[in-house]
Structure 1
Amino acid sequence: MSSRTGNHIANTEQAQAWNGYEGAHWARQQARWDEINAGFTAPLLDAAHIRSDDAVLDIGCGAGATTRAAARRAVDGRVTGVDLSGPMLERARASARAERLGNTTFEHGDAQVHPLAGRGFDAVISRYGVMFFADPVAAFANIRSGLRPGGRAAFVVAADGAGNEWLRALGALGSDLPLGGFGATGGPGMFSLADPARVEEVLAAAGFARIRVTRAEAPGRWGDDAEDAAAFLMDTGPAQHRLSLLGEGAGIRARRALVELLRPAERPGGVLLRGTAWLVTAVRP
């Protein structure tokens, strides 16, 4: 297992966020985020048709859950994770070492400009890691250049906010925690590729072919109970940003209201909230 650092960053705003509070939060809460998003991992890897001897590229790999899952499938191949976040990559490397996955490599860089061209990957995957590009066409063109001819791509991107129960719960807080345009489409941001037509337009302009966008749903475990899940949601970047503008009193009111909103989602196994996404597949001609 080795590491590599890119020389250039084009997406400076996102780099600042993911090497600041947001990246530290995700690294610290790696296990929780893995539980939330785990339901999309197997469909993603199945869509990428990963074989035992494949070379796989994982874009926006974060703390490395999808990189490690791909490495367990490509046992005779290699899997390379690329991410902007130094704190998350530290967790990714530590987790891969703990699992003795010697066929993984992690590289710190901006996928929009990171040196990928000509590296001959058989497949590229991403679970919620490709929605934050400053120039998505340039980024996906660079990603495509890392694939061999005929190479496969599979991405999971956030669908519309209305289908994500965690965002609906936060949105229901209204004046206690106004999130502004957080759930809006456009970008860069979590919902920048929430419109399937936009996905197809960007990937086609980047040189991909046989583009297919299908809807996927999976429950995510957000906490042990409503109190635990509410505390976690209030600790996320969007909530913390708004709370910093509103003051401590607003945070107390919002948290209490959120606990009550999450009560109906409590199950014996924890608080389960439905997530919706687009599962995108394409190939390099």
Structure 2
Amino acid sequence: GVFTNLTRDHLDYHHTLEAYFDAKERLFTETLAQSPKPSPHAIINLDTPYGARIRVPPNATRLTYGRRGSGADLEHEVVALGLDESVFRFFHGGERVELRLPMLGAFNGANALAAVAIGIAAGGDLRSGVEALRAFPGVPGRVQRIGERNGTAVFVDYAHDPHALEALLPNVREAMQRERPGGRLVTVFGCGGDRDRGKRPLMLRAALRESDRVVVTSDNPRGEDPAAIAAEILTGLPSPSDERVTVELDRRLAIERTLASAAPEDVVLVLGKGHEPYQIVGERRLPYSDLAVIDESLAQRER
């Protein structure tokens, strides 16, 4: 079993973070404890305080990973971060290996190291695990750069909770300060209907900490009124007169207008849906794709 993290998500089901943690911990204390394998591995991320709390059953071998200096069995550190790639250094058992990944984000170091830890648990070593990742192309809809037209860089990501925005946006801003110092960071996002309502203002606050502009739109409204969802998001405004935030409930139109107004050095983040090929309205899944809308919009800008 692998414990990567625990953030504010699925609280419409679990209600509290502690209940969510208990559900995840049972994967180790109950499911892993019943494993037919002689010594199953519990791979745990120590970068989150919840990792140290995970109880490992007596039949399991504990293998930890975390940032350099965390005391974990496997450790990672950031060497360089850019809009198109990230370079990490991994440590284990006296070995040190660097890995370059074709994607943005310091958090990808922990994700990659978790994959390496799985390989080690299966009998491999640090070097072979890193070598296997060198050809990794990334995951569709996860910090995926869709393209660049007239100098504007456009990314799609599945980030749909405050923690995800807090992890992603500072990395984008840091890379922009080196590569696009004159550009604006524009974030497009919404919040799902019939899900955790408490996170809605928190999402806006997280977006505004790093973004120059924020466009609030619709994202799987389900049985709720998209305008009511947007109104709850807007309660996170630090000031009613904050002109950085606009609302466009038509998601396609929100993306098209954002890209049409973007300047050459700007970076646009379209968040929440990632690779999803639908928009949930009521009980229907209507065909829709952020990736397709962005491709169409960028193609029109070239004409």
Whether TM-score is above 0.5 comes out as: no
Which has a greater percent of helix?
1
The structure, 1 or 2, with the larger RCO (C-alpha pairs under 8 Å, 6+ apart) is 1
TM-score where L is the length of structure 1: 0.33
